[in-house]
Amino acid sequence: MLRTASCSASLTSASPFFRHFPLSYSSLSSSTGALRAPGRNLRRVASPASTGRRVFLRRGLRVPSTAGRGVNRQLSRLSVRAVATQPAPSYPDVGQDEAEKLGFEKVSEEFISECKSKATLFKHKKTGCEVMSVSNEDENKVFGIVLRTPPKDSTGIPHILEHSVLCGSRKYPLKEPFVELLKGSLHTFLNAFTYPDRTCYPVASTNTKDFYNLVDVYLDAVFFPKCVDDVHTFQQEGWHYELNDPSEDISYKGVVFNEMKGVYSQPDNILGRIAQQANNTYGVDSGGDPKDIPNLTFEEFKDFHRKYYHPSNARIWFYGDDDPLQRLRILSEYLDMFEASPSRDTSKIEPQRLFSEPIRIVEKYPAGRDGDLKKKNMVCINWLLSEKPLDLETQLALGFLDHLMLGTPASPLRKILLESGLGEALVSSGMSDELLQPQFSVGMKGVSEDNVQKVEELIMSTLKKLAEEGFESDAVEASMNTIEFSLRENNTGSFPRGLSLMLQSIAKWIYDMDPFEPLKYTEPLKALKARIAEEGSKAVFSPLIEQFILNNSHRVTIEMQPDPEKASQEEAEEKSILEKVKAGMTEEDLAELARATEELRLKQETPDPPEALRCVPSLNLSDIPKEPTYVPTEVGDINGVKVLRHDLFTNDIVYAEVVFDMGSLKHELLPLVPLFCQSLLEMGTKDLSFVQLNQLIGRKTGGISVYPLTSSVRGKDEPCSKIIVRGKSMAGRADDLFNLMNCLLQEVQFTDQQRFKQFVSQSIARMENRLRGSGHGVAAARMDAMLNIAGWMSEQMGGLSYLEFLRTLEKKVDEDWEGISSSLEEIRRSLLAKNGCIVNMTADGKSLTNIEKSLEKFLDLLPENPSGGLVTWDGRLPLRNEAIVIPTQVNYVGKAGNIYSTGYELDGSAYVISKHISNTWLWDRVRVSGGAYGGFCDFDSHSGVFSFLSYRDPNLLKTLDIYDGTGDFLRGLDVDQETLTKAIIGTIGDVDSYQLPDAKGYSSLMRHLLGVTDEERLRKREEILTTSLKDFKDFAEAIDVVRDNGVAVAVASAEDIDAANNARSNFFEVKKAL
Ligand SMILES: [Zn+2]
């Protein structure tokens, strides 16, 4: 697989929960979203996991908290195109009469120049259901239905319902239509999410027929789900007692139950939850607290659906280039079946009154026994900013302020906190306004007990100082440019633009405010800019800091203390509850429970009958284009350096990647590479402080990032190992972009010991978070490191080995800074050279020609050859089964092997088969009956490694047994032509996944680096399209190698690992990590 250093976003309480788990291997953003090898995207994030983090500037001004990483991830996500100059094009219109005939009334209509769309708000006359119908030229069509679903307690009703309604409905009476769509549609987005006060069901596709299929399945699911008549779905997705045999212990099972156990194993999430101190619906957890979930009854669950899943309480969004009249036709068929209900009033969210006094809360969180617990406190201050909704300009100004204070490593509040040395890293900080009332929070983790108070004081004094002194004008300019650039770029990565607009609009609309308003940011932005120009930035921002933060008595301070006993205590509590339950049961009860457990399992494991499967609409193979999408690519040469050019319309933006080879890097320097990359961006030169350098990047470009990339190359022993410098700017500023890249690469000095020390402690905090939140990624990296060289390299730079390295390095920074500094210098010398360098550029033809001179100048300044001779990479971790101990309530379980070692030769059918294994065998066994939040497999066609992984899994050995049964599953498989066709179409949907222009250019670069030609892509596509049942059976032989010679790695709790080693005589080598 392709690997880049990527940080995973953590879910905080204000962010939604997803039906299908968001994998955190890559992110949604443009910088990594395109990081997929041709033909596979198994580790793609399926949802906007990270959108919960900084959600202030809905209007598209999503400003990142960690923009220092250059091409910034968050910023690019939810933005709106800022092109307002063209005249309104005409889109098919729905006349008042036509709307009336279908039962709708046209409420209002506007052309929205920001997104070049005509938007019409309709109201369904009978039920009052509101519909936003947005028409434009975007082929990536989006539909979403959103219901207001405020919970009264933390039993997780809205979340469990969100999972359950997609488990069969009136028209689609099979186990999981959702999974059938995952398998066999061309969707560009398919998921569902639960917010603290609403539930969203969005789908997207570029194929109109496919799109309407998806819409129909979703509408039927929402309004007519089977789950309200079938307690089994509630038990499966929510919770139930499991008892296999009356002699055994009872346990809790349920997908949401285990998903939430995972959430509650992460201290950042616990902190976010406690921060929601409110008497209204936000004071409880819509996702469900694992302690409360078992209090939920089926009656309450059904009642919640009856109450809130009604057209009168629904808001529906359509977006794209399809026929707007057809949208109303589809909707009227559903909506006409209902009468008006009072649900719209009963679901109203009451605002929280602001506190008159600040409050302080001290809580404990589950920590490991290792490490210095004294230094593991967390502290965070939160403000609820206002009782009433804010006007647009104030909101924009607050978002701007947020970016100024925290948006980049050079932003003062962030910088001062990190430089204070009082803590390791910031906890999720910033403005957030996706809910009724906006909030601001800031805090640190990795704080020693005696420093907690000091962090609080430093936050307050810094805010005071910022109010008194204002911001540097360069900083204001940099923030303004960053925001405007992102608006123009409107780069939502692999997330559909229409969905990002929907989420912006709904964040007001859901509170009965104007759905158009959040889409129209041009005027208020202009006004804000004018005010800053006239009155100065201080006059604009200082009063905001005073009014909303300093003089705001609604301040909630939270301190969290590590508790090494808490994880086992919670486990013991759960056990004792379950023991009591069992003790209260008669023999007949127990027999009945065992029977019910068996009944549920049987039901889960019985496949849907073919006639039920057939009712889910699907495309035909004839609907599928026979050829892959080709990216225009011209390979040339400038001063001996290979240059790839992609002539694509990019709205006047230039995207450039400069790739250097790691072939001369000394082995022992490898784990320093990620910190080397960070140092380039965040250390400064002889003439420029890092703050100045950062501001320059913000003022002149759209961002620059530097990161390593490693992958196996099929048929070669040597891995591909590169450092990529990635940047973007307006075409007219390409010269600045290349000058700045040159400055970073050649002039940055590795002299700032204190900053370097911060990087190390931040990286430790990030890795520890990754272990808890994305243990499957850590396990996968570990297995790859045993199985191939590229995997080993990647693990050295981002896996458990890296964490171990960092912990040693932290001490070394004090003892031998000279040595480290010269090592960083040595890395630079071994990378920086024309020889081995490749440049990739994406822009329109004219810009590509215009920027040639700037590029030439940049390349001329590079040394001819790297210092040091070529090295051979050959590292691997010893092959063995490993269990990595962390304090957790749920596990991550992996097993992997190299199928090329059996002589298997790559065939396109492998993609179809591995997708099928994920969506059937693993989904059914690991998730549905096993109770894990997720289970999937991944086939890396470059290395041949086939891996199985589970996510938030209550089991361990049992899951490994399921993996081992895969070969037999394939051998026993009997699929009809329709199922096969579905699997093929779904695979093509992955291969053809929708890409914005920068992602197209980037994918093309990846293919170039990994030696994947267009001929090969065409051949693989043909193989995919002609996959047969025989291919499945043949694949069984290859996949047996995982069972027979594979390695297993689990990231799990001490208790579960002990139990596994007892049951299977020391199967795992145990390694402590947290
Ligand atoms: Zn969920």
- The C-alpha atoms of residue 995 and residue 991 are separated, in whole angstroms, by 11
Contact 942, 37 (CB under 8 A): yes
Q: Is residue 9 part of a domain?
A: no
159 CA to centre of ligand 1 in angstroms: 6
Cβ neighbours of residue 131 closer than 8 Å, sequence gap 6 or more: 104, 121, 122, 123, 124, 315, 316, 317, 318, 327, 328, 331
Of 17 and 1013, the one with more pLDDT: 1013
- For 875, counting Cβ atoms within 10 Å of its Cβ (0-12 exposed, 13-18 middle, 19+ buried), the class is middle
Amino acid residing at 1005: L
Q: How confident is the model at residue 73 (pLDDT cuts 50, 70, 90)?
A: very low
Q: Looking at residue 89, what is its pLDDT?
A: 62
In this prediction, residues 780-796 reach a mean pLDDT of: 97
Q: Is residue 986 part of a domain?
A: yes
**Is the per-residue pLDDT at 11 higher than 50?**
no
Pairing of strands 141-148, 189-190: unpaired
Asked if residues 605 and 404 have their Cβ atoms less than 8 Å apart, the reply is no
The sign of the dihedral angle between the CA atoms of 46, 49, 50, 54 is positive
Instruction: Using DSSP, state whether 1011 is helix, strand or coil.
Output: coil
478 C-alpha to center of ligand 1: Å? 38
Contacting residues for 589 by C-beta, under 8 A, at least 6 apart: none
Residue 106: pLDDT above 90?
yes
Cα of 16 vs centre of ligand 1, distance in Å, is 9
pLDDT digits (tens, 9 = 90+) for 518-531: 999 889 999 999 99
Residues less than 5 Å from ion ligand 1, measured at CB: 17, 259
φ/ψ of residue 683, rounded to 5: -120, -20
Residue 604 shares a structural domain with residue 643: no
Instruction: Please tell me the distance from the alpha carbon of residue 895 to that of residue 913, in angstroms, as a whole number.
Output: 18
Same domain as 216, residue 187:
yes
Cα–Cα distance, 450 to 832 (Å, whole number) = 45
DSSP string, 296-344: --HHHHHHHHHHHSSGGGEEEEEEESS-HHHHHHHHHHHHTT----THH
Q: State which residues form the domain around 826.
A: 634-860
Residue 882 CA to residue 428 CA, distance in Å, equals 32
Residue 15 has a pLDDT of 67
Q: How far is the CA of 20 from the centre of ligand 1 (A)?
A: 7
Q: Helix or strand or coil: residue 1051? A: strand
Total Cβ atoms within 10 A of residue 667: 13
Rg (CA), the chain: 28
Q: How far is the CA of 256 from the centre of ligand 1 (A)?
A: 6
Nearest residue to 894 (alpha-carbon basis) of 682, 781, 753, 1050: 1050
Residue 49 lies in a domain: no
* Together in a domain, 413 and 541: yes
Residues 911 and 812 in one domain: no
- Rounded distance from Cα 930 to ligand 1 centre (Å): 15
DSSP 443-468: EEEEE-GGGHHHHHHHHHHHHHHHHH
Distance 238 CA to ligand 1 centre (A): 10
Q: pLDDT tens digits, residue range 1003-1028? A: 999 999 999 999 999 999 999 999 99
CB 745 within 8 A of CB 669: no
Tokens of 954: 């209550």
Q: What is the rounded CA–CA span in Å between residue 24 and residue 22?
A: 6
pLDDT in tens, 715-773: 999 999 999 999 999 999 999 999 999 999 999 999 999 999 999 999 999 999 999 99
Strand, coil or helix: 662: coil
Res 22: pLDDT: 55
Residue range 982-993: mean pLDDT, rounded: 93
- CA 264 / ligand 1 centre spacing (Å): 13
Mark whether 129 and 152 lie in a shared domain. yes
The answer as to whether 420 is a domain residue is: yes
Instruction: Specify the pLDDT at position 21.
Output: 63
Ligand 1 mean position, distance from CA 284 (Å)? 16
CA of 255 to the centre of ligand 1 (A): 8
Spatial separation of the C-alpha atoms in residues 245 and 594, rounded to whole Å = 6
Q: What is the pLDDT of residue 63?
A: 29
Q: Kindly give the distance from the C-alpha atom of residue 1019 to the centroid of ligand 1, in angstroms, as a whole number.
A: 38
The rounded Å distance from CA 327 to ligand 1 centre is 29
pLDDT per residue as tens digits for the range 878-934: 999 999 999 998 999 999 999 999 999 999 999 999 999 999 999 999 999 999 999
Distance 155 CA to ligand 1 centre (A): 13
Would you say residue 289 lies in a domain?
no
Residues designated catalytic: 162, 237
In a domain, 265, yes or no: no
- Let me know whether 400 and 438 are in one domain: yes
Under the phi-then-psi rule, with left for phi > 0, alpha for psi from -120 to 50, and beta for the rest, what region is 1072? beta
In this predicted structure, the answer to whether residue 1029 has a pLDDT above a threshold of 60 is yes
Return mean pLDDT, the chain: 90
**Same domain membership, residue 338 and residue 413:** no
Reduce the DSSP state of residue 231 to 3 states and report it. helix
Place of tokens 């202030």: 56
Residue 288 CA to ligand 1 center (angstroms) comes to 10
Going by pLDDT thresholds of 50, 70 and 90, the confidence category of residue 1074 is confident
Alpha carbon of 85 to ligand 1 centroid (Å): 42
Q: What's the 67 CA to ligand 1 centre distance in angstroms?
A: 29
C-alpha torsion sign, points 1035, 945, 607, 611? negative
Q: How many domains does the chain have?
A: 4
Task: Answer yes or no: is 379 within a domain.
Answer: yes
Q: 């607009």: which residue's tokens? A: 501
Tokens for 208, please give them: 């109109």
Q: What torsion, rounded to 10 degrees, do the Cα atoms 523, 525, 527, 528 define? A: 170
- The backbone torsions φ and ψ at residue 878, rounded to the nearest 5 degrees and listed phi first, read -60, 140
Say whether both 304 and 378 belong to one domain: no
C-alpha separations of 556 from 237, 279, 440, 466, 553 in Å: 34, 14, 10, 21, 9
Instruction: Look at the chain and count its residues.
Output: 1074
Q: Under a CB-based contact definition with an 8 Å cutoff, are residues 749 and 828 in contact? A: no
Distance 890 CA to ligand 1 centre (A): 15
pLDDT in tens, 457-513: 999 999 999 999 999 999 999 999 998 898 889 898 888 999 999 999 999 999 999
pLDDT at 125 over 60: yes
Distance 60 CA to ligand 1 centre (A): 26
- Under a CB-based contact definition with an 8 Å cutoff, are residues 754 and 420 in contact? no
29-54 tens-digit pLDDT = 222 222 222 222 222 222 222 222 22
Structural domain contains residue 6: no
What are the pLDDT digits (tens) for 760-775? 999 999 999 999 999 9
Q: Which residues of 155-188 are buried (b: 16+ CB within 10 A; e: fewer)?
A: bbbbbbbbbbbbbbbeebbbbbbbbbbbbbbbbb
Lowest mean pLDDT among 119-128, 290-299, 609-618: 609-618
- 310 and 419 fall within a common domain: no
Average pLDDT rounded to a whole number, residues 962-986:
95
**Which helix (H) or strand (E) segment is 821 a member of?**
helix 817-831
CA geometry: angle 956, 958, 961, nearest 5 deg: 115
For residue 789, how many other CB atoms are within 10 A of its CB?
Answer: 21
12 by Cβ neighbours in 10 Å (0-12 / 13-18 / 19+) ranks as buried
Residues 966 and 1063 in one domain: yes
Asked if 669 and 728 sit in the same domain, the reply is yes
pLDDT at 371 over 90: no
Q: Residue 308's closest CA among 150, 168, 130?
A: 150
Q: Is the pLDDT of residue 956 over 90?
A: yes
CB contact burial 345-375 (16+ within 10 A = b; e otherwise): eebebebbeebeeeeeeeebbbbbeebebeb
Question: CA 81, CA 407: separation in Å to the nearest integer?
Answer: 21
Residue 78 clears pLDDT 80, i.e. is over it: no
Distance of CA 167 from the midpoint of ligand 1 (Å): 13
Residue type, 324: P
Rounded to the nearest angstrom, the distance between the alpha carbon of 183 and the centre of ligand 1 is 19
HEC string for 20-76: CCCCCCCCCCHHHHCCCCCCCCCCCCCCCHHHHCCECCCCCCCCCCCHHHCCCCCCC
Closest CA to 703 of 408, 988, 465: 408
Q: Which of the four pLDDT bands, split at 50, 70 and 90, describes residue 88?
A: low
Both 327 and 413 in one domain: the answer is no
Q: How far is the CA of 500 from the centre of ligand 1 (A)?
A: 20
CATH code, 310 = 3.30.830.10
Residue 57 scores a pLDDT above 80: no
Distance 212 CA to ligand 1 centre (A): 25
